[in-house]
Amino acid sequence: MNFAATFDQGLRYEAFLSKYGSDEQRRRWEGVYSNVHLSTAQNRLLAGFTREMKVLVVAGTWCGDCVNQCPIFAHIAAQNEKIGIHYFDRDDNKELAQELSICGGPRVPSVLFLSEDGFSCGRAGDRTISAYRDIAARQLGPSCPTGIAPPDKTLLENVVQDWVGEFERIQLMLRTSSRLRQLHND
């Protein structure tokens, strides 16, 4: 699959919600969005990114894990124009969802990080380590959050940090890439 060409077909955050979300789903996403707060250090880190990142997110507006994580991505992208995030509805993009499947299934959100020139740099999803630790501590079994109630504040802060860390990891990969350093003469 040509992920670079696919990226260009995706939707930005608001357009994705407008197209795929019901009023109730948009309300849930907005509820989490309003509770996400990046720290000064996180804002500074993200604002300092120098390499363009293309990020594909396969999601569903109905999905509790997406409700609890995709608004974080919107905050991250708002910190630096070099972070481009495009969203794809899982059910309308079955081939992409299959390509980005997790643990044998089209789970969401599924995230693919690309370099500025379209090379795959990393994949992540459906939950961060903090979310899995929380689920394991509570249930030690499978779970699918509904997104009806926002995540608890400490868990949300931890998940935000997990995602900021993943974006930083990819940015450092791009920044230290000998191929890209040669391309940019840095």
Q: Helices 153-176 and 64-78: crossing angle, nearest 10°?
A: 50
Structural domain for 157, as ranges: 3-184
Average pLDDT over residues 164-171: 98
Count how many domains the chain has. Answer: 1
Q: What is the mean pLDDT of the chain?
A: 93
165 vs 147 pLDDT, higher one: 165
Identify the band that residue 177 occupies on the pLDDT scale cut at 50, 70 and 90: very high
Identify the band that residue 133 occupies on the pLDDT scale cut at 50, 70 and 90: confident
Q: For residue 121, what pLDDT is reported?
A: 98
DSSP state letters, 40-109: HHHHHHHHT--S-EEEEEEE-TT-HHHHHHHHHHHHHHHT-TTEEEEEEETTT-HHHHHHT-BTTB--SS
Secondary structure (3-state) at 13: helix
Average pLDDT over residues 72-85: 98
Secondary structure (3-state) at 36: coil
Q: Nearest Cα to 175, choosing from 78, 183, 8, 41?
A: 183
Q: Nearest Cα to 120, choosing from 84, 71, 174, 72?
A: 174
CB 129 within 8 A of CB 165: no
We report the CATH number of the domain holding residue 62 as: 3.40.30.10
CA–CA dist 146, 57 (Å, integer):
19
Q: For residue 142, what pLDDT is reported?
A: 52
Q: For residue 136, what pLDDT is reported?
A: 80
